[in-house]
Amino acid sequence: MKKKITIAIDGFSSTGKSTIAKQLAQKLGYIYVDTGAMYRAVTLFAMNQNLITATEFDIAGLEKELSRISLSFTFNSNFGFAEMYLNGVNVEKEIRTLEVSQLVSKVAAVSSVRKKLVLEQQAMGKNKGIVMDGRDIGTVVFPDAELKIFMVASANTRAQRRYKELIAKGDTVSYEEILQNVVERDHLDSTRKDSPLVRAEDAIEIDNSDLGFKEQFDKIYALVESLSSLN
């Protein structure tokens, strides 16, 4: 018999958190939640309502609309993971564009947005058996999570990964703009006032700049096994 635990995976953008988290959840039969997708969906909403552009952000306007934003995940068995829905519409593809990436850190810095999303995330994890990835999962959302992982990798390694992903999807982007976005988001995410990206004291740091997927996965899986064995 195994006991279900809560697994928090935090770290900088494009450190491969979601790849590890998805596979881990699949192998364990746990729920997987990509909290970055939720911040991205709120950003998309703000963009669609003309509340945010590259130069302006009507924070009060977004705050007024927050109760009209409904976020949900629906499992897609073709892909093996849950997709993000914004007010009933699948936005999985739209939230992954560079445009959204360039604005999301501003939206994620708004306390009322964080408050709404953190409450929703805590509700999703109330029965444990969950792998959640983000920036503040081990520090704010689930400070009592049994396992906390903090993933890091060099900015160049991360920009290369993101660049390859976007090019494979057919987006026209340059490596330089991706690198700039990665560096800017690191800065905004780690210096914002509310829930900045920091490693929880009890998190295990994994630097995967030169670590293959299998090595990382095996390392984390072994930790889960030791924590979830009933004693």
Applying CB under 6 A, the residues found at the interface with ligand DC are: 13, 35-36, 39-40, 104-105, 108, 134-137, 185, 189
Least Å distance, CB 91 to ligand DC, is 13
User: 8 near 147, Cβ under 8 Å?
Assistant: yes
Q: Which residues contact 138 (CB under 8 A, 6 or more apart)?
A: 8, 10, 145, 148, 149, 150, 199, 200, 202, 203
| Residue with smaller CB distance to ligand DC, 111 or 209 | 111
Of 41 and 228, which CB lies nearer to ligand DC in the complex structure? Answer: 41
Instruction: Count Cβ atoms below 10 Å from residue 208 Cβ, excluding itself.
Output: 21
- Side-chain half-sphere exposure of 104, counting CA atoms within 13 A: 25
**Rounded Cα gap, residues 70 and 144, in angstroms:** 27
Q: Work out how close the CB of 95 gets to ligand DC at its nearest, in angstroms, rounded to a whole number.
A: 8
Q: Quote the least distance from Cβ 14 to ligand DC, whole Å.
A: 7
Residue 90 CB, shortest distance to ligand DC, in Å, is 17
Which residue type, as a one-letter code, is found at position 32? Y
Name the residue nearer to ligand DC (CB basis): 30 or 39: 39
92 vs 136, beta carbon nearer ligand DC? 136
